[in-house]
Amino acid sequence: MKLRTRLLWLFVPPLLLVLSLVYFAAQGMLLARLDKQDERLLVAEAERLRALLGNSFERDANRLRQWAQAVPGAVPSAFPLDAATLGRSGFDFILYFANGEQRVSWRPLDLASLERPAGAPALNLKALHDGVAQQLARLLQPQDVAPPAQLLAVLRVPLILVAVDTARSGDRASGVLLAGTFLDSKRIAMLQQQLGGELTWLPSATEQQRPVLQAELMSIGNREVVDARHQSIDLLFQDSLGEPQLRLQLTRERHLYLEGEQQLNVFLGATGGLIGLAWLLIYLALDVTLLRRIARLHQELLAIGPTAAGRRLTDDGRDELGKLAREANRALDRLEQSEARDRAILDAMEDGYFELDELARIESVNPAFCRLLGYPAAQVIGRTVASLQEDHEASAATEPAIAETEPGAPLSARLRRADGSIGHFETQISRRHNAGGRLIGYRGILHDVSEHVLHQQQLFDLAYHDALTGLGNRKAFHEDLARHLNGDSLPLALIFLDLDRFKQVNDRFGHDIGDALLVCMAERLGNALRQPAKAYRLGGDEFTVIVPMTEFQAANALAQRLLKVLGEPVSVRGLSIDFVTPSIGLALAPAHASEVDALVKAADQAMYEAKRLRGRVSVFQPGD
């Protein structure tokens, strides 16, 4: 007999059949009947709770009526009530209402002792007083008639409200006297002690909750099973206008159901013991013929890994388990051949290859990866890619960037090599998934693009820097000036400098000396500036300086300092040149112009005015 058939006929069908029959029979015949009896008992307790609350309403109404009759003179004249009188009445407040006039007296309240539904917002005394006044005014409209005793919710606080007319015998009604008592934890504890159950206040009932018994202001809802041990039923309260107020939930244990369930468990335990004994005998037989072989195969599979290549399963049985072992050995052979082929390809690659786990930690690398970064494989295995980055502050975004990158999309990073140098690298990331489709990591190819990035940087420097002095060139000047004028760098100063008699240097000493002079002047100019000021060479002996966020006084002081620094004699290759002096023009934005061309023209005009006078700083005059 095959292994699968042997396991099937040994224990699965008999076990399932016996347990199913016992369980469904008990549920249908015993527990359902006991649960119905628990429900009837709970409804009877709810009726008793409704009667207790009704009696409490009646007692409060009689006490208010007696208090009103005992008041000497007219009721309105007794207000405001002193604390002793209000305390003897037993109410938290008494309110007189007639012809739109209200007179109310309150007893000091302990807000912490008031009963409220779970999750109710914080409560304060003024809000509670205002809420009571609004509720009572609503109930007394459209005419001043005493409403029946009822349970209200004021800011989700339960309140027993009673009311009587203030007419004495033989008099017409002159107003309505209302009194209220808030339900505190003490009253709830007394009700719970009388009922033997737990009471919980809940928000008002919804339209879907239909009571099984009807009453004028109190009705009983449907019974609900809370959990395996408890059941609950709701008392639904509405005011005299028919609007829902609160729910009072009565929770009790399912005594009969639990006792029946306990007896059923004893029976099922005995039955299970007999079945367990039979199962034990079956297990002993299976342990010899099947389970020990499975455990041995499991241990052999766990032992197979990268450090134990070539190990195989030893089971050679002729049943399904033996066939499974032989098929597993053939699959291991194919897997080792595939891994050896992949490893040979990765080892021969010029680009770096790496695999990461789901947390972006390096799991494996090829030799090319180690050559590109200079680390041995043991130093990078287990590290994150972020730990290899130059900028540690930006490395925290590496893992989300890897996870969010589309497969095949390039990623660029600056990585630190083992020798401390920084390299520019580019990689393409793809995701790795297991057989169930769950993400287990990433793999990628690492390219060293440092030379390409360096070449791009050199091209950028050529495009935006003067080749002789290293200052920004004309292109950089115009782009920076436009950016400052369109941004938040105003006020801004623009300085134009021109070297007087520079042509004589070229004519007398040659262009090499002239170029050396320009380099020296550029160094002096750069050393004399502080951030964020920046210098540029527009060509020949013409320089400019952009000074963002500066006023006229500071800009003029800088121009005077540059006039002095650049006017000092220059020693170039043993020659002392003392006849070259600067002429400086100064223009301000937005005082003189707000556009690039207009501001450049203004500074240029100021410079030519200074050049006419020689060795001067000239500020642009709009009338020129």
Q: Quick: pLDDT tens for 538-548.
A: 888 899 999 99
Spatial contact of 596 and 544, defined as CB atoms under 8 Å apart: no
Q: What is the mean pLDDT of residues 101-129?
A: 82
Q: Say what the pLDDT of residue 116 is.
A: 73
* pLDDT tens readout for residues 529-538: 998 999 999 8
CA distances from 56 to 62, 91, 129, 149, 249 (A): 10, 13, 23, 10, 18
**CATH of region 349-449:** 3.30.450.20
The pLDDT-based confidence of 409 (bands split at 50, 70, 90) is low
CA distances from 504 to 59, 448, 500, 510, 562 (A): 119, 51, 9, 9, 22
Contacts of 16 (CB under 8 A, 6+ apart): none
Spatial contact of 5 and 186, defined as CB atoms under 8 Å apart: no
* Percent of the chain residues past pLDDT 90, beyond the cut: 13
**Selection from 77-81, 229-233, 238-242 with the highest mean pLDDT:** 229-233
* pLDDT tens readout for residues 419-461: 888 888 888 788 888 878 888 888 888 888 777 777 777 777 6
Q: Say what the pLDDT of residue 613 is.
A: 84
Tokens describing residue 266 = 């004893």
Q: What is the mean pLDDT of residues 286-311?
A: 74
Q: Could you give the CA distance from residue 508 to residue 453 in angstroms, rounded to a whole number?
A: 43
Q: Could you give the CA distance from residue 500 to residue 512 in angstroms, rounded to a whole number?
A: 18
Q: Say what the pLDDT of residue 203 is.
A: 67
Check the CA dihedral 23-25-26-31 and report its sign.
Answer: positive
Spatial contact of 353 and 366, defined as CB atoms under 8 Å apart: yes
Residue from 178, 144, 182 nearest 162 by CA: 178
Whether residue 214 is predicted with pLDDT greater than 50 in this model: the reply is no
Whether residue 170 is predicted with pLDDT greater than 50 in this model: the reply is no
Torsions phi, psi for 431 (to 5 deg): -90, 150
Residue extents of the structural domains in the chain = 48-166+174-202+217-253, 267-304, 316-348, 349-449, 465-619
- Low-confidence winner among 70-74, 209-213, 214-218 (lowest mean pLDDT): 209-213
Query: Who wins on pLDDT, 555 or 447?
Result: 555
Query: Who wins on pLDDT, 275 or 231?
Result: 231
Check the CA dihedral 87-91-93-94 and report its sign.
Answer: negative
Q: Say what the pLDDT of residue 96 is.
A: 87
Apex CA 158: angle with CA 106 and CA 190, to 5°? 100
pTM of the model: 0.41
* pLDDT tens readout for residues 303-348: 776 666 677 777 777 788 788 888 888 887 787 777 777 777 777 6
Tokens describing residue 306 = 């990268």
Residue from 177, 183, 212 nearest 47 by CA: 212
CA trace torsion 287, 289, 291, 296 (10° rounding):
120
Residue from 347, 384, 348 nearest 365 by CA: 347
**CATH of region 465-619:** 3.30.70.270
* pLDDT tens readout for residues 580-613: 889 999 999 999 998 999 999 999 999 999 988 8
Q: Say what the pLDDT of residue 346 is.
A: 74
Q: Say what the pLDDT of residue 264 is.
A: 78
Residue found under tokens 């939930």: 249
Q: Say what the pLDDT of residue 408 is.
A: 62
Residue spans of beta strands (DSSP E) within 477-520: 492-500
Residue from 48, 44, 174 nearest 103 by CA: 174
The pLDDT-based confidence of 7 (bands split at 50, 70, 90) is low
Residue found under tokens 């107003």: 175
Residue from 497, 503, 501, 505 nearest 565 by CA: 497
Q: What is the mean pLDDT of residues 515-524?
A: 90
Q: Hey, is 623 helix, strand or coil?
A: coil
Q: Say what the pLDDT of residue 169 is.
A: 46
Spatial contact of 348 and 371, defined as CB atoms under 8 Å apart: no
Query: Who wins on pLDDT, 448 or 618?
Result: 618
H or E segment and range at residue 161: strand 157-165
Q: Say what the pLDDT of residue 547 is.
A: 93
Apex CA 158: angle with CA 153 and CA 162, to 5°? 85
Residue 598, sorted as left (phi over 0), alpha (psi -120 to 50) or beta, turns out to be alpha
Mean pLDDT of the chain: 81
The pLDDT-based confidence of 193 (bands split at 50, 70, 90) is confident
* Beta bridge partners of residue 410, listed in sequence order: 428
Q: Could you give the CA distance from residue 608 to residue 593 in angstroms, rounded to a whole number?
A: 18
* Percent of the chain residues past pLDDT 70, beyond the cut: 88
Q: Say what the pLDDT of residue 212 is.
A: 39
Whether residue 87 is predicted with pLDDT greater than 50 in this model: the reply is yes
